[in-house]
Amino acid sequence: MPQFDAAFRAKLVDLFRWRRDVRRFRPDPVDPELVRELLALADLAPSVGNAQPWRFVLVEDRERRRRVREHFLEVNARALARYRGERAALYARLKLEGLDRAPVQIAVFCDEATRQGHGLGRPTMPETLCWSVVLAIGQLWLAARAHGLGLGWVSILEPEAVGRLLEVPATWRFVAWLCLGHPQEEHLDPELERAGWQARTPLEARILVR
Amino acid sequence: MPQFDAAFRAKLVDLFRWRRDVRRFRPDPVDPELVRELLALADLAPSVGNAQPWRFVLVEDRERRRRVREHFLEVNARALARYRGERAALYARLKLEGLDRAPVQIAVFCDEATRQGHGLGRPTMPETLCWSVVLAIGQLWLAARAHGLGLGWVSILEPEAVGRLLEVPATWRFVAWLCLGHPQEEHLDPELERAGWQARTPLEARILVR
């Protein structure tokens, strides 16, 4: 049985602190074997009923990548229109995705029709199936960073449009479009904090005792 | 800037492989300072728009703990009634929570009314707010395991009932009841696999290329 010592825990804290949502990638390719290894690590994530409902779509086709970026630009223009004044100007300056350059792009879905797990743990909280997929993405994110890669989660997309674009089964619910590659820069602070959009706030206000 | 080397990555793989959903706890207390440290690590998780929407409720009151366990027993009896024959007999034998013994119990919510993040990233996928909370739980889970603690996620509860029991704001959506403490046993295989409920299945069927 492995022992986790203080030195490992200190590095794990570094991993959590230096994990970023990355939108600026170098174009260098990523070894496909490493991508498979990262997916295998994500596959070790917890899942409700051991359902393993995550489905990974490696998007390699250039035309599909072009179309998702075009779709992002449309959806993001509508998102921008929700803001006014200085906040709108600030939003317009943000870089929110790396769809143009990320060498690896993975669309992640939840198979809502899976029978694996026999429905255990879900009767009162059916969304735990999708949440299992989110846990797998979190694990993929950390594993990628430990390999010196950056990951960015793009959510400014219409789920149905992505499903159609990728021709996945109708029961697959879209969860995330992940951009993966070598980051151009490393930062300790989130990009949205650096850009003046939203700083982190103190933890104490998020803890209650009952 | 920290470097993550092969030795760290190998330990990280161990962490992913030995992380379990734990339902059998030793009654030994956990240092409250360590619990705070774990919450601070969860607080470093990615969140949409940097919204940090997670809210942690440390449930210390014995009567509230008694009532949530009573509530679990009712909900679980209804869950059992969904199965027939051998599957029902198997379900009845599963241990699905450690509410009776876990020394630390944390109810986790998503503050759906938070203004932090200014709505960024959510117009077409509002559920990403809740998903951020799930990412924080995943990080807490790994950090706890690195400290030799086990965590179990209880989802066989009615979200509204938990909110009422803990008297949290109406805009807080219940995400998870976490049991935390020293595990009685360590295992490489999931409890549901060991109990014959659901084994893990090969990854290849979960990967598509487009």
What digits encode the pLDDT tens for the residues B168-190? Answer: 999 999 999 999 999 999 999 99
| Contact residues for B68 (Cβ-Cβ < 8 A; gap 6+) | B59, B99, B105, B157, B162, B165, B177
Sort out which chain A residues have CB atoms less than 8 A from B141's CB and list them: 46
Sort out which chain B residues have CB atoms less than 8 A from A119's CB and list them: 82
Which top CATH class is A19-200?
Answer: alpha beta
Report which secondary-structure segment, H or E, holds A173. Answer: strand A172-181
Whole-number pLDDT of residue B177: 98
Q: Is B210 in Cβ contact with A64 (below 8 Å)?
A: yes
The alpha-carbon gap from B69 to the nearest alpha carbon of chain A, in Å, equals 15
DSSP state letter for B203 = G
Residues B106-134 have a mean pLDDT of: 98
How many C-beta atoms lie closer than 10 Å to residue A2's C-beta?
14
Task: Report the topology of domain B19-198.
Answer: NADH Oxidase (3.40.109)
Burial class for A148, CB neighbours closer than 10 Å (0-12, 13-18, 19+)? exposed
| Contact residues for A205 (Cβ-Cβ < 8 A; gap 6+) | none
Residues B118-137 have a mean pLDDT of: 98
Give me B110's structure tokens: 């998503």
Q: Is B87 in Cβ contact with A118 (below 8 Å)?
A: yes
Whether the CB of B60 is below 8 Å from some CB of chain A: the reply is: yes
What digits encode the pLDDT tens for the residues A67-77? Answer: 999 999 999 99
Give me A195's structure tokens: 């850009």
Q: Is B175 in Cβ contact with A131 (below 8 Å)?
A: yes
Q: Is B18 in Cβ contact with A11 (below 8 Å)?
A: no
Residues B135-163 have a mean pLDDT of: 98
Three-state DSSP class for residue B208: strand
Whether the CB of A55 is below 8 Å from some CB of chain B: the reply is: yes
The alpha-carbon gap from B206 to the nearest alpha carbon of chain A, in Å, equals 5
The alpha-carbon gap from A147 to the nearest alpha carbon of chain B, in Å, equals 7
What digits encode the pLDDT tens for the residues B84-93? Answer: 999 999 999 9
Give helix A85-93 / helix A62-80 axis angle, nearest 10°: 170
Whole-number pLDDT of residue B194: 96
Residue A186 in contact with residue A18, Cβ under 8 Å?
A: yes
What digits encode the pLDDT tens for the residues A101-142? Answer: 999 999 999 999 999 999 999 999 999 999 999 999 999 999
The alpha-carbon gap from B149 to the nearest alpha carbon of chain A, in Å, equals 11
Whether the CB of A190 is below 8 Å from some CB of chain B: the reply is: yes
Residue B15 in contact with residue B188, Cβ under 8 Å?
A: no
Whole-number pLDDT of residue B68: 98
Confidence check: pLDDT of B140 > 90: yes
Number of CB pairs, chain A paired with chain B, less than 8 A apart: 260
What digits encode the pLDDT tens for the residues B2-60? Answer: 999 999 999 999 999 999 999 999 999 999 999 999 999 999 999 999 999 999 999 99
Query: Which has the higher per-residue pLDDT, A1 or A5?
Result: A5
Q: Can you give the pTM of this predicted structure?
A: 0.98
Listed residue (A68, A86, A80) closest to A161, CA to CA: A68
Sort out which chain B residues have CB atoms less than 8 A from A57's CB and list them: 207-210
**Residue in the structure block whose two tokens are 């990080």:** B139
Whole-number pLDDT of residue B2: 92
Q: Cα dihedral angle (B113, B115, B117, B120), rounded to 10 degrees?
A: 70
Listed residue (A87, A12, A130, A22) closest to B118, CA to CA: A87
Q: Is B159 in Cβ contact with A19 (below 8 Å)?
A: no
Q: Is A91 in Cβ contact with B120 (below 8 Å)?
A: yes
Listed residue (A97, A158, A172) closest to B210, CA to CA: A172
Whether the CB of B6 is below 8 Å from some CB of chain A: the reply is: no
Three-state DSSP class for residue A13: helix
Whether the CB of B202 is below 8 Å from some CB of chain A: the reply is: no
Give me A176's structure tokens: 């995330």
- The band of A1, judged by pLDDT with boundaries at 50, 70 and 90, is confident
Three-state DSSP class for residue A58: strand
Confidence check: pLDDT of B1 > 90: no
Give me B30's structure tokens: 């956990």
Whole-number pLDDT of residue A147: 98
Three-state DSSP class for residue A99: coil
Listed residue (A147, A136, A19) closest to B5, CA to CA: A147
Residue A52 in contact with residue A43, Cβ under 8 Å?
A: yes
Whether the CB of B209 is below 8 Å from some CB of chain A: the reply is: yes
Whether the CB of A67 is below 8 Å from some CB of chain B: the reply is: no
Phi first, then psi: give them for residue B209, nearest 5 degrees.
-120, 135
Q: Which long-range contacts (CB under 8 A, 24 or more apart) does B68-74 make?
A: B68/B99, B68/B105, B68/B157, B68/B162, B68/B165, B68/B177, B69/B97, B69/B99, B69/B100, B71/B157, B71/B158, B71/B161, B71/B162, B71/B165, B72/B97, B72/B99, B72/B154, B72/B156, B72/B157
CA B16 to chain centre: 15
Whether the CB of A206 is below 8 Å from some CB of chain B: the reply is: yes
Which residue of B49, B60, B128 is in closest CB contact with A192?
Answer: B49
Residue B106 in contact with residue B59, Cβ under 8 Å?
A: yes
